[in-house]
């Protein structure tokens, strides 16, 4: 407003001087004062911009020395504030990468610790068995017994390594699912044959229930791996004389596979943790499990676009439920 009054005063003087024949001088003075005004405004503008840039640089320096919460104020409009907004976005992305790297390192540290713990027990047992085998060279029954025990511990180590390799490949995205239309009943019968000897030895019954003509678009090998891990888990927690049931049924837009047992069930404290890798319940009587089968099964199902949940009653049994979603062309029945 003051600038306007100033200019108005100058114009008034120019008019007066014009009437007195001093037009050129008036125009010169007007140009001089207008130039000074523009220069003054420019200096004020660039000084303000300089302060804003200094503040932005200070925020960036704070971030570089470790203040991950540092941000540049960018509430106004303009090209410079668009740049500041882009810088803030970049900072958020960098923070996300830093957090992800931290979680990855923590996971790697925990995984190495878990693997060391899992290997320690069978290796210690093998060391003991080896000492006994060396000292009992003339006692054939003892030699046979500890040879069998050694073989069991070696199988345990092999299972640990194989499952670790499978999970690592899945996590790294190194597995390309080779999906085809597969007969669900055929896959379940393959699983039944795999566990037939164990069922007979442990006096347990494996029951299959489902239509023979349901087709699923999936990777046969990996889907059998997922369901087999659930069946193995059921065998591990079911006593002699009891049964494990594998049931599959088609719904409008999904296929459901249920692996159910009437075993010991899962303690309520463990239900929310059983899909964590290497998780071992303090209530479990199973000393041979390594805690990778259920997480592996869940990962495979999720790669097929499905999900997995568990319903369990302590002392009565558990049911692991696989829901495989998809369009109707992914879950079909054979035409007669």
Mean pLDDT value across residues 110-138: 66
Higher pLDDT, 220 or 108: 220
Collapsed DSSP state (helix, strand, coil) of residue 214: strand
Mean pLDDT value across residues 78-83: 71
pLDDT of residue 188: 95
pLDDT of residue 335: 43
Instruction: Determine, yes or no, domain membership for 231.
Output: yes
Mean pLDDT value across residues 141-154: 71
pLDDT of residue 38: 81
Instruction: Determine, yes or no, domain membership for 90.
Output: no
Could you tell me which residues come within 8 angstroms of residue 282 by beta carbon, excluding any fewer than 6 positions away?
none
Q: Are residues 192 and 326 in the same domain?
A: yes
pLDDT of residue 336: 36
Instruction: Determine, yes or no, domain membership for 262.
Output: yes
Q: Are residues 193 and 327 in the same domain?
A: yes
* Residue 85 confidence (pLDDT) above 80: no
Q: Are residues 157 and 282 in the same domain?
A: no
Q: Are residues 282 and 190 in the same domain?
A: yes
Instruction: Determine, yes or no, domain membership for 23.
Output: yes
- 326 to 212, 215, 299: CA distances (angstroms): 20, 12, 17
Mean pLDDT value across residues 168-187: 83
pLDDT of residue 69: 74
* Residue 230 confidence (pLDDT) above 50: yes
Higher pLDDT, 253 or 148: 253
Token pair for residue 141? 């029954």
Q: Rounded to an integer, what distance in angstroms lies between the CA atom of residue 256 and that of residue 271?
A: 20
Q: Are residues 162 and 222 in the same domain?
A: no
Higher pLDDT, 236 or 282: 236
Q: Rounded to an integer, what distance in angstroms lies between the CA atom of residue 323 and that of residue 307?
A: 5
Mean pLDDT value across residues 95-116: 71
* Residue 25 confidence (pLDDT) above 60: yes
pLDDT of residue 281: 64
Collapsed DSSP state (helix, strand, coil) of residue 228: helix
Give me the residues paired with residue 256 across strands. 249, 323
Domain extent, residue 30, equals 2-70
Instruction: Determine, yes or no, domain membership for 89.
Output: no
Higher pLDDT, 111 or 293: 293
Higher pLDDT, 277 or 293: 293
Q: What's the domain count of the chain?
A: 3
Token pair for residue 228? 């087999």
Q: Rounded to an integer, what distance in angstroms lies between the CA atom of residue 264 and that of residue 178?
A: 36
Instruction: Determine, yes or no, domain membership for 86.
Output: no
Closest CA to 116 of 278, 287, 293: 278
Q: What is the CATH number of the domain that holds 131?
A: 1.10.287.130
Q: Are residues 192 and 287 in the same domain?
A: yes
Instruction: Determine, yes or no, domain membership for 326.
Output: yes
Q: At what angle do helices 293-303 and 220-236 cross, to 10 degrees?
A: 150
* Residue 87 confidence (pLDDT) above 80: no
User: 297-306 burial by CB neighbour count: b if 16+ within 10 A, else e?
Assistant: bbbbbebbeb
Q: Are residues 167 and 187 in the same domain?
A: no
pLDDT of residue 23: 59
Q: Are residues 197 and 321 in the same domain?
A: yes
pLDDT of residue 43: 78
Closest CA to 225 of 217, 214, 233: 233
Q: Are residues 44 and 134 in the same domain?
A: no
Percent of all residues in the chain with a pLDDT value above 70, rounded to a whole number: 71
Main-chain dihedrals φ then ψ at residue 279, nearest 5 degrees:
-70, 130
At which of 110, 145, 171 does a domain end?
171
Q: Are residues 104 and 19 in the same domain?
A: no
At which of 171, 194, 229 does a domain end?
171
* Residue 240 confidence (pLDDT) above 80: yes
Instruction: Determine, yes or no, domain membership for 79.
Output: no
Single pTM value for the model: 0.60
Q: Are residues 51 and 130 in the same domain?
A: no
Mean pLDDT value across residues 213-222: 91
Lowest mean pLDDT among 74-88, 90-104, 229-243, 312-326: 74-88
Q: Which of 4-8, 96-100, 105-109 has the highest mean pLDDT?
A: 96-100
Per DSSP, helices labelled H in 202-309 are: 220-236, 293-303
β-bridge pairing 307-313 and 254-261:
unpaired
β-bridge pairing 243-251 and 205-209:
parallel
At which of 126, 144, 171 does a domain end?
171
Q: What is the CATH number of the domain that holds 210?
A: 3.30.565.10
Lowest mean pLDDT among 2-16, 223-237, 242-256: 2-16
Q: Are residues 249 and 218 in the same domain?
A: yes
């Amino acid at each position: 407003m003051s600038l306007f009054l100033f200019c108005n005063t100058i114009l008034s003087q120019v008019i007066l001087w014009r009437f007195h024949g001093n037009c050129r001088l008036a125009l010169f003075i007007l140009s001089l004062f207008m130039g000074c005004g523009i220069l003054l405004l420019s200096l004020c503008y660039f000084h303000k911009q300089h302060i804003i840039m200094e503040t932005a640089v200070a925020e960036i320096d704070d971030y570089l020395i470790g203040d991950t919460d540092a941000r540049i104020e960018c509430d106004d409009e303009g090209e410079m504030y668009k740049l500041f907004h882009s810088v803030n976005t970049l900072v958020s992305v960098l923070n996300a990468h830093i957090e992800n790297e931290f979680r990855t390192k923590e996971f790697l540290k925990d995984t190495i610790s878990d693997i060391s713990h899992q290997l320690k027990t069978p290796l210690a047992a093998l060391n003991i068995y080896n000492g006994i085998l060396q000292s009992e060279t003339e006692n054939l029954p003892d030699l046979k017994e500890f040879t069998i025990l050694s073989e069991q511990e070696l199988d345990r180590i092999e299972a640990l390594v194989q499952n670790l390799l499978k999970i690592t490949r899945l996590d790294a995205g190194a597995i390309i699912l080779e999906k085809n239309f597969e007969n669900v009943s055929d896959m379940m019968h393959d699983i039944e044959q795999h566990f037939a000897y164990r069922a007979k030895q442990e006096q347990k019954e494996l029951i299959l229930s489902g239509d023979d003509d349901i087709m699923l678009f999936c990777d046969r090998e990996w889907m059998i791996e997922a369901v087999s891990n659930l069946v193995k888990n059921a065998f591990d927690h079911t006593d002699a004389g009891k049964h494990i049931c594998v049931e599959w049924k088609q719904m409008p837009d999904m296929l459901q596979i249920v692996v159910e047992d009437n075993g010991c069930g899962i303690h309520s404290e463990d239900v929310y943790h059983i899909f964590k890798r290497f998780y071992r319940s303090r209530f479990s009587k199973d000393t041979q499990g390594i805690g990778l089968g259920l997480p592996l099964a869940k990962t495979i199902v999720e790669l097929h676009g499905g999900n997995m949940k568990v319903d369990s009653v302590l002392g009565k049994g558990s049911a692991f439920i696989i829901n495989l979603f998809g369009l109707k062309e992914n879950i079909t029945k054979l035409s007669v």
